[in-house]
Chains A and B, each alone.
Chain A
């Protein structure tokens, strides 16, 4: 390892230590000041035995079941079907006229990493300093008491992928349950993906409050981007070599012991293609570049963003690269795009056989509107069934957790939503909520403020 690398490592360790202290001290104080006052956060509801009876069951993975039963035990779905016996001692829910769905999953958020983005920097834990932070882990900083979590889950979103932002390598995203008194309790996959911001040419969305960027010199920009890619390439190759040296040493202690390097350590499972890498890429050139780069480096890519994915559909299909679409409700990128270009993006990917899911791409407050993003895609060409899958089974498959989440099947984690109507329709209400087999009270900071003021005379 080079001296600069070592310094970098020491700097990073220090930074992370400082951040940890900030999170622990600041986070606690914040939670007391402005966090979610819901008392249930102190004690997790128990994992009981539950039977949801007489329900319309939308399994997502298979056909709907009319008038069926779902049995939940020890956090898991034990049985699903039209003629399933209710176990003795089970708490039963008579769901006549109601529907059961798997909980929704938003695979592109910053949930729990930011409470108030503007004017309250102490509540923001999104982006580390510097370009390369593969060992910045979202699961470390997720605030389980964030008001956003309860506000989101009571609308039927039970899981999010929570990603850090900033730099070239932002860090590692976590897949979490939106329930728990600690990050550990929330974690489904604590290190779910590495997040890389693929170098971009300007012309994307203008930042809030920012001045409009002068169009740069394209050649210079492309050169700068190529330099960034080279840096990225070098770091990933270092990680590969580091991983080999580490393994060789583990087998043969007579070899020189490689110094531990937490930055490279963090990268090893990703450069070996064992874990997915999310490339933040919206424009056609970025998406193509990310696919090319991932192929060159033998990574397992996921495109995060994907506004132009419809233009790259055949390549995405050919390379079997999935897309987390965060822009369904964004304004089209270009003035001469059709008005429904981004509404139609999911339908076009579906027709082309590209694996995709729909996400809000939001930091937190907007994540509860995930069903509306999927609904808009259905208004513009996607089938209703696929719209539902795009926020349940598809994100589970893309994040490689379809054995645990995304549909109602025996053996899966009991993340279930009981509704009085179509899960994606705004007028529908959530009646019961289960996360990890625990019955969750449908209260949040918002219901509590509503209760406090609705009858003020």
Chain B
């Protein structure tokens, strides 16, 4: 096996080299100023503007209007016949995460998705090619209180630190229902099931955690109130599990709660009311249409699939009219992917709300732009095309709600991170590079008598809450 390990190390080295090439590529296409001329602009918040220019400068949207002027070295893009829309925001993603579930305990608020970000995940690039620029990287749904989220801009090819979305509200994943109960895990003789095992136990687990968090907060509050008077007072022992929950109680951290059925949605609203915090988003919330009134009254948002259903019992009452019913009921709704695959076509997922439930085009566009921005506390930065907002936009070759459309160019902070023409132009060069790599010593077929490794499975794309249908 030593030989195999060496082989793997060499392969790793080669991928690092490739990565460096792509980083250089990211820099090369960076443009300080871009003027998109004469396009149709889907501003989201200010309607649709025909034959309009958009100027991107210093990472911001600098101007929107007719016959705009740019500096001499600006990149000019003829937008005739094209559509410009804000970069799509995916409010439920597990892209670039090497692992998503710390599933051993029922409360794992001490773990962070930020610690397992893999900037080389090629699915990020594929998502950019679908016009997506911002992701809410969530912990999985293995436990009632899961880990902390990370909101990122897809700066593929840049260091992890540059992915972090400045000023995004911190968040935490909660989860209710079948995944938490481990319903699909069979009973095994001699193996103790993890608590909780029912939706009753889920409620108790969350209540217990918040009771502890409230006590913990009290002990810190008392310490801070008295520390000045009593120099000998010892601070409470830090508790990294409870700290994030204290932030929830103080309104400094958003709760994104994976949920499906009526009872558990209402349960979490009740707990939140009891402890005085707000659930920022119910994730999936496929029965949200049954309790739209209660969700709206609580002030929570909903981040859902367009039309996934039937993949488990708690998704059997899911209907594609969910977005329309909740939107009309006053809930801020977003469409998410929870899938590296689906994330590449969220434009079509949003358009489904026009097909099922007849939302207007503007309402449907909001589902993947300003609404998820609101749900992540970044609505002042992204989610619409307005002067002063971040230059996170995509140029489409047709209306993004048409199945026949595709993305030409995607900008993040004014820099090009995907461009179809450049992608196509690089293919001969990449084919050459690939051929050269295949000729490289470590990649040559093993000598006679030695067994080569079978092809490695590609990194699994985490889809926490849906499953691929069984293939025929």
Interface residues of A (CB under 8 A from B): 34, 108-110, 114-120, 126-127, 147-148, 151, 161, 163-165, 170, 173, 195, 201-206, 208-209, 212-213, 215-221, 278, 280, 304-305, 326, 329-336, 338-340, 361-366, 368-369, 371-372, 374-376, 378-380, 384, 424-429, 445-446, 449-450, 453-454, 456-457
Residues of chain A contacted by B469 (CB below 8 angstroms): 110, 117, 361-366
Q: How far is the CA of A363 from the CA of B293 in the complex (A)?
A: 34
**Which of B307, B309, B355, B471 has the largest number of chain A CB atoms within 10 A?**
B471
Minimum distance in angstroms from A388 CB to a CB of chain B: 11
Interface residues of B (CB under 8 A from A): 122-123, 125-126, 129, 178, 183-184, 289-290, 292-293, 307-313, 316-317, 319-321, 324-325, 328, 340-341, 345, 348, 351-352, 354-357, 401-406, 423, 427, 430, 434, 451-461, 463, 467-472
Residues of chain A contacted by B290 (CB below 8 angstroms): 453, 456
Residues of chain A contacted by B321 (CB below 8 angstroms): 446, 449-450, 454
- The residue on A at minimum CB distance from B452 is A218
Residues of chain B contacted by A334 (CB below 8 angstroms): 458
Query: Which residue in A202, A368, A378 is a CB contact (below 8 Å) of B457?
Result: A202
Q: Helix, strand, loop or mixed for chain A's interface? A: loop
The answer on a CB contact under 8 Å between A205 and B468 is yes
- The residue on B at minimum CB distance from A203 is B455
Residues of chain B contacted by A376 (CB below 8 angstroms): 345, 403
Q: Helix, strand, loop or mixed for chain B's interface? A: loop
Given the known A-B contacts A215-B457, A456-B292, are A147 and B451 also in contact in the complex, defined by CB atoms under 8 Å?
Answer: no
Minimum distance in angstroms from B258 CB to a CB of chain A: 15
The answer on a CB contact under 8 Å between B355 and A363 is no
Q: How far is the CA of A152 from the CA of B354 in the complex (A)?
A: 18
Given the known A-B contacts A426-B351, A450-B319, A456-B292, are A331 and B345 also in contact in the complex, defined by CB atoms under 8 Å?
Answer: no
A/B interface sample: 5 pairs, CB < 8 A = A116-B311, A119-B178, A280-B471, A375-B403, A450-B289
- The residue on A at minimum CB distance from B354 is A427
Given the known A-B contacts A110-B469, A339-B423, are A120 and B456 also in contact in the complex, defined by CB atoms under 8 Å?
Answer: no
Residues of chain A contacted by B354 (CB below 8 angstroms): 426-427
The answer on a CB contact under 8 Å between A212 and B471 is no
The answer on a CB contact under 8 Å between B129 and A217 is no
Given A335-B122, A454-B321, 11 more pairs with CB closer than 8 A = A119-B178, A151-B309, A161-B472, A203-B458, A206-B457, A209-B467, A221-B454, A340-B129, A361-B469, A363-B469, A445-B319
The answer on a CB contact under 8 Å between B401 and A426 is yes
Q: How far is the CA of A115 from the CA of B313 in the complex (A)?
A: 9
The answer on a CB contact under 8 Å between A115 and B310 is yes
Minimum distance in angstroms from B11 CB to a CB of chain A: 12
Residues of chain A contacted by B404 (CB below 8 angstroms): 375, 378-379, 384, 424-425
Sort A-B residue pairs by CB-CB distance and give the 10 closest, nearest first.
A375-B403, A203-B455, A363-B469, A163-B472, A206-B460, A118-B312, A450-B321, A208-B467, A365-B310, A362-B469
Residues of chain A contacted by B467 (CB below 8 angstroms): 117-118, 208-209
- The residue on A at minimum CB distance from B352 is A426
Residues of chain A contacted by B351 (CB below 8 angstroms): 426-427
Q: How far is the CA of A454 from the CA of B293 in the complex (A)?
A: 11
Q: How far is the CA of A208 from the CA of B309 in the complex (A)?
A: 16
Given the known A-B contacts A280-B471, A364-B310, A378-B404, are A119 and B457 also in contact in the complex, defined by CB atoms under 8 Å?
Answer: no
- The residue on A at minimum CB distance from B309 is A365
**Which of B126, B348, B423, B455 has the largest number of chain A CB atoms within 10 A?**
B455
Q: How far is the CA of A281 from the CA of B455 in the complex (A)?
A: 16
Q: How far is the CA of A205 from the CA of B348 in the complex (A)?
A: 24
The answer on a CB contact under 8 Å between B341 and A212 is no
The answer on a CB contact under 8 Å between A372 and B403 is yes
The answer on a CB contact under 8 Å between A457 and B313 is no
Q: How far is the CA of A52 from the CA of B45 in the complex (A)?
A: 42
The answer on a CB contact under 8 Å between A363 and B470 is yes
Q: How far is the CA of A374 from the CA of B403 in the complex (A)?
A: 9
The answer on a CB contact under 8 Å between A218 and B453 is yes
The answer on a CB contact under 8 Å between A426 and B184 is no
Minimum distance in angstroms from B372 CB to a CB of chain A: 20
Minimum distance in angstroms from B467 CB to a CB of chain A: 4
- The residue on A at minimum CB distance from B8 is A215
Q: How far is the CA of A147 from the CA of B320 in the complex (A)?
A: 14
The answer on a CB contact under 8 Å between A369 and B452 is no
Query: Which residue in A118, A202, A384 is a CB contact (below 8 Å) of B455?
Result: A202
Residues of chain B contacted by A173 (CB below 8 angstroms): 472
- The residue on B at minimum CB distance from A360 is B469
The answer on a CB contact under 8 Å between A203 and B405 is no
Residues of chain A contacted by B470 (CB below 8 angstroms): 110, 114, 117, 126-127, 165, 363
Q: How far is the CA of A457 from the CA of B313 in the complex (A)?
A: 26
The answer on a CB contact under 8 Å between B319 and A304 is no
The answer on a CB contact under 8 Å between A379 and B312 is no
Residues of chain A contacted by B451 (CB below 8 angstroms): 217-220
